[in-house]
Structures are given as C-alpha cells and as structure tokens.
Amino acid sequence: MTTFFNALPGAVSQGLVWGIMAIGLYITFRLLEVSDLTVDGSFCTGGAVCVTMMVAGFNVWVAMLAALLAGMLTGLVTGFFHTKCGIPAILAGILTQMGLWSVNLAIMSMKANIALNVNNYDLLVSLRYLQDVNKGERPFYQHPILVLVVFTAVLIAILYWFFGTEMGASIRATGANENMARAQGINTNVNKVLGLALANGLVALSGSLLCQYQSYAEINMGRGAIVIGLASIVIGESIFGRVFRNFALKLASVSLGAVIYYIVVQFVVSVLEIDSNYLKVISALIVAFFLAVPHWKSVYFHKKDKKGL
C-alpha cells in the first residue's frame, strides 16, 4: 500500500495530462456526435512537434503553440476527408491516423523516439519536478499537479467562453441536431471541420505536455489514446453526471475521469501487484467496466423503479 501512495502524485499528474486529451475528445464525441479516431495520431504529432522544436532551441510555450496548431491541422485534414470527400467520419479519422504515422516519423527525423533532457530545457511539467519539489529543491508552484490544475482550469474557462459565442453555439447546435441547424442557416460542414480542428488541437496540446512530463517523445505514445479518452468521459459522466450540470463542470468531470482512471490503474499495478505486462488487459477491463455502468444502471435500476411504481 505504501508503494501505491508514493506513486499516487505521479498517477494524478499523468491523469491531468491525459484529461486535456479527453476534453478534446469530448468535443467530437459528445458535442459533435462524431467518433474521431484521428486522436491516436494527433496525440503523437503534438509530442513530436513539441520535442523537435525544443531540441531546436525554441521556448516551451512556442513549442506548445506549434503543437496545438499542428494538431488543429490534422483535424482539418480529417474534416476535409469527411465533409468534402464524403468519407464517413470514423473512416476519415482512420485514414488521417494512418498517414500521421509517417508524418510523425518525418517530424522526428525518422527516429522512433527523441529524448528531452530535463536538465537542459525549461519544461512546464516533468516527473523530475515532482520529485524535486518533494525534496525541497524546487519551489512549490512548479509542482506538476498544481501547474496542470491551473492549466486545465484556464483551458476550461477559455472553452466555456468560446462555446458561449455565436460560433461555439453553432458548433454545439450542429452536434445536437444537424438538420435543424442547417435549416437555421448554419453551415454544418464548416462547424464539423472547426470542431475536429479544435478537438485535435487540444489532443496535440496534451501530447506536448506528456512528452515534457516523461522527457521524451515516442512514435507509439498515442496508441490507445482514444480508449483512455473515452474511458475518462464515461467515468466522469458516471460519477459526476448527476451533480455537474454546467458545461464548464462537465468538462472538469472529464478531466477528473482521467485522473480516476490512472489512480485505478496505479492501484491495480501497485496494490494487487499484477505484472505490468498485463497493463493493456487491465486497461481494457477498466474501460469495459465503466462503459458498462450506464447500461447496468438503465437495465437494473430502472426496472426496480418501475416495480416500485
């Protein structure tokens, strides 16, 4: 149990990083009602762009902005395939994801991974910072959990403002009822492209944070990202859905869902002492469990309510 509590801050930090990716996925999965599989590729794109630019001497904020823009570009490609080529959204995402494998390798100069030495660069977050703050070697405001909480809060505030604007509301209307939105004179194709671009920009931003946290970018770092993102959304909605009604709080619940997901994974690995080689199976079971919770609620609890009536 001691191992679990020692590893808990790291699990929370990693959950907050992936929570930003889950917020991006929430935009497509819940607001646009689109299953976008681009995220497995755009997540790595963000990490690759960030690390490459930092190694080239750019500031961390400039590198993260470039990662955000690169991710938005991948979303534009998926949106183009879907709206202009008539390809179903899920297939358009798969095509973009496949192409991004080569693009990401090209960004990293055909290397499978690039290291980012924490001693040579000023990073926003890092696992080393977590250890240094605990030892008293760094100020408390550089603690990854504090930095990521503030970063996530600012991001949610910006998204809350954006989706309250006319453009943001039209994107939400497109996902809620595309035919009605089109009847109101809204260009639904443009909104789909904008939504996909914004979502994948956030996914890439999350990838840029993860590569800093783990001090390297790796070509497979986005594999399975959509599963983690969906798990975060479902966990957040299952636990906080009845309490968090406000749009900003719904976004916060998604981030909290990612944190809970990583805490559960850490608990299984540390406390139950299951071999880490079975981590993929464990992750799949955790996701399957939380995906099944809404179904179990509707089947069993609703039946009890009807009998009670």
pLDDT digits (tens, 9 = 90+) for 207-222: 999 999 999 999 999 8
The answer to whether residue 275 scores a pLDDT higher than 80 is no
The answer to whether residue 309 scores a pLDDT higher than 60 is no
The answer to whether residue 307 scores a pLDDT higher than 60 is no
Phi and psi angles of residue 139, each rounded to the nearest 5 degrees, phi first: -65, 155
Q: At which residue do the structure tokens 């993260």 appear?
A: 64
296: CB partners within 8 A, 6+ apart: none
Cα–Cα distance, 200 to 213 (Å, whole number): 20
Higher-pLDDT residue of 277, 119: 119
Cα–Cα distance, 144 to 73 (Å, whole number): 28
Say what the pLDDT of residue 216 is.
93
Higher-pLDDT residue of 241, 163: 163
Model pLDDT for residues 278-299, shown as the tens digit of each residue: 777 877 787 788 778 777 877 8
Higher-pLDDT residue of 74, 266: 74
The answer to whether residue 306 scores a pLDDT higher than 90 is no
Cα–Cα distance, 302 to 308 (Å, whole number): 10
Sequence-ordered alpha helix ranges (H) in 108-224:
127-135, 144-162, 166-176, 178-183, 188-214
Say what the pLDDT of residue 144 is.
94
Model pLDDT for residues 87-122, shown as the tens digit of each residue: 999 999 999 999 999 999 999 999 999 999 898 999
Cβ-contact 132, 138 below 8 angstroms: yes
Return the number of other C-beta atoms located less than 10 Å from residue 273's C-beta. Answer: 8
pLDDT interval class at 272 (50, 70, 90): confident
11-20, 129-138, 284-293: range with lowest mean pLDDT: 284-293
Q: At which residue do the structure tokens 């403002």 appear?
A: 161
Return the number of other C-beta atoms located less than 10 Å from residue 216's C-beta. Answer: 16
Mean pLDDT of 188-201: 96
Say what the pLDDT of residue 305 is.
56
Sign of the C-alpha dihedral computed for residues 30, 202, 147 and 113 taken in this order: positive
The residue among 176, 205, 202 whose CA lies nearest residue 191 is: 176
Say what the pLDDT of residue 166 is.
94
CA distances from 203 to 96, 209, 248, 252, 272 (A): 14, 10, 18, 16, 31
Cβ-contact 75, 90 below 8 angstroms: no
